[in-house]
Amino acid sequence: MNYILTNANVYVQGNFMKSNVFIANGIISEISNRTPQNECPVFDMNGLFVFPGFIDVHVHLREPGFFYKETIKTGTLAAAHGGYTAVCSMPNLNPTPDCMENLEPQLKAIRETACIEVVPYGTLTIGEMGETLAAFDELDPHVCAFSDDGRGVQSDAMMLEAMKKIKGYNKIVAAHCEDNSLLFGGYIHKGEYAEKHGHKGICSESEWKQIERDLKLVKETGVKYHVCHISTKESVELIRQPKKDGLDVTCETAPHYLTMNDSMLQEDGRFKMNPPIRSAEDQKALIAGILDGTIDMIATDHAPHSAEEKAKGLEKSMMGVVGLETAFPVLYTELVKKGVITLEKLIELMHTNPRNRFGIGTALEVGQPASLTVFDLEKEYTVDPENFLTMGRATPFKGNTVCGACKMTMYKGNIVWEDR
């Protein structure tokens, strides 16, 4: 719990400085160039980068209910391996956390097995069925926000009622925006690849139509509103103006939407997720949304499945890919090294903005818990799922050459992952 990290490039209040980080009893006690005096164990960083621990507001840890896909133990170890020290766990579980009785098994597993901070979501409706509101009063003290992630709330009246009630708790409504009436059995983006290879496509309107509806309801209710995993150019445009007008709206996108488009798809389940990887035009619009602040944060939508569930090609495989262990290196390689965004901007997207919006995680500052991560930005390697700590192996980035290897992650002064 007492350590000194020396000769590091440390992210301090939005900038990098060559410094030493002093940690006492799990708390950052000093960030300075003072020479250590044999006070405690010293780690010579030799120019490595020290970031505040990343925060992912959209992770599927699968426990309780789907232990064969992932557990809170394996999922949080994977998160630490990727540099994360705080995650929000999505509620499409069994049982769904729609009341305190159903949330408690997850809270117990978090207390007993998580190696980093995990804050659950509560559901918007019982069983995520979109018919009866969840027990918000019971769940409120224990959850980061409310969401029926994995399903869009189809009823306008139900979503309006949920927003009105959640406004009273000063909590966030985090929306998986998907209009079921516009899906028509699609499973990848309705674009050139789908047409060329005879696949059923998911139209962009199925996403942006619900965002359009919800924004009207947000204007009516004043609730805090967050849009999950946006993937289309229309979604970016719809969110841009209300934010300028002062609505309390934020949104996230994922690494695969920023760095890939449907021309890169292959006939493999590791390229299948919901929403799907979209067109080059959508990818360009998402990057523009990152640059102008329309998109506030990057979340992985880490969604592990068994090997069997992902071995059935694009049509039959389950929706979802893993992402906690590839997010930073992929984004650093594809966006920072190529000059699209700065490293400082990436930290803002992966730490500062999610921390400020969801109220989880801690800054890399004196007096705060030492929840941080250390990266070697020069380290180049090939993404190999066999090296993952998650139980899932399906990633569209398999075989990619990336830069940026996690060397150590600390949570509250405890080393929870180290590259030995």
**Same domain, yes or no: 329 and 406:** no
Q: Domain range spanning residue 180? A: 53-358
CATH number at residue 32: 2.30.40.10
Q: So what's the pLDDT on residue 212? A: 98
**Same domain, yes or no: 283 and 410:** no
The tokens describing 367, both together, are 């007096």
**Same domain, yes or no: 67 and 200:** yes
| CA angle at 29 for the pair 23 and 34, rounded to the nearest 5° | 90
Of the residues 248, 301, 376, 384, which is catalytic?
Answer: 301
- Residue 39 pLDDT > 80: no
**Same domain, yes or no: 403 and 305:** no
Average pLDDT over residues 374-386: 98
Pairing of the two strands 372-382 and 49-52: antiparallel
Instruction: Specify if 275 maps to a domain.
Output: yes
pTM here?
0.98
Place of tokens 């959640």: 166
**Same domain, yes or no: 41 and 173:** no
Question: How would you write 37-94 as a 3-class SS string?
Answer: CCCCCEEECCCCEEEECEEEEEECCCCCCCCCCCCHHHHHHHHHHCCEEEEEECCCCC
**Same domain, yes or no: 71 and 193:** yes
Instruction: Specify if 363 maps to a domain.
Output: no
Q: So what's the pLDDT on residue 11? A: 98
Best CA proximity match to 32, nearest among 412, 343, 365, 363: 365
Residue type at 147? S
CATH number at residue 258: 3.20.20.140
Which residues, at least 6 apart from 339, have a Cβ–Cβ distance to it below 8 Å? none
**Same domain, yes or no: 152 and 34:** no
- Residue 420 pLDDT > 90: no
**Same domain, yes or no: 166 and 209:** yes
Instruction: Specify if 289 maps to a domain.
Output: yes
pLDDT: is 36 or 49 the higher one? Answer: 49
Decide which of 358, 386, 404 is a domain's last residue.
358
Residue type at 80? A
Q: Do 87 and 115 contact (CB within 8 A), yes or no? A: no
Q: So what's the pLDDT on residue 88? A: 98
What does each C-alpha distance from 224 to 173, 216, 290 come to in angstroms? Answer: 6, 13, 20
Backbone Cα Rg of the chain? 21
**Same domain, yes or no: 400 and 347:** no
pLDDT band, residue 98 (cuts 50/70/90) = very high
Q: So what's the pLDDT on residue 38? A: 75
**Same domain, yes or no: 19 and 89:** no
**Same domain, yes or no: 119 and 10:** no
Number of compact structural domains in the chain:
2
The verdict on whether 301 is a catalytic residue reads yes
Spatial separation of the C-alpha atoms in residues 211 and 226, rounded to whole Å: 10
pLDDT band, residue 84 (cuts 50/70/90) = very high
Spatial separation of the C-alpha atoms in residues 84 and 78, rounded to whole Å: 9
**Same domain, yes or no: 126 and 29:** no
Instruction: Specify if 92 maps to a domain.
Output: yes
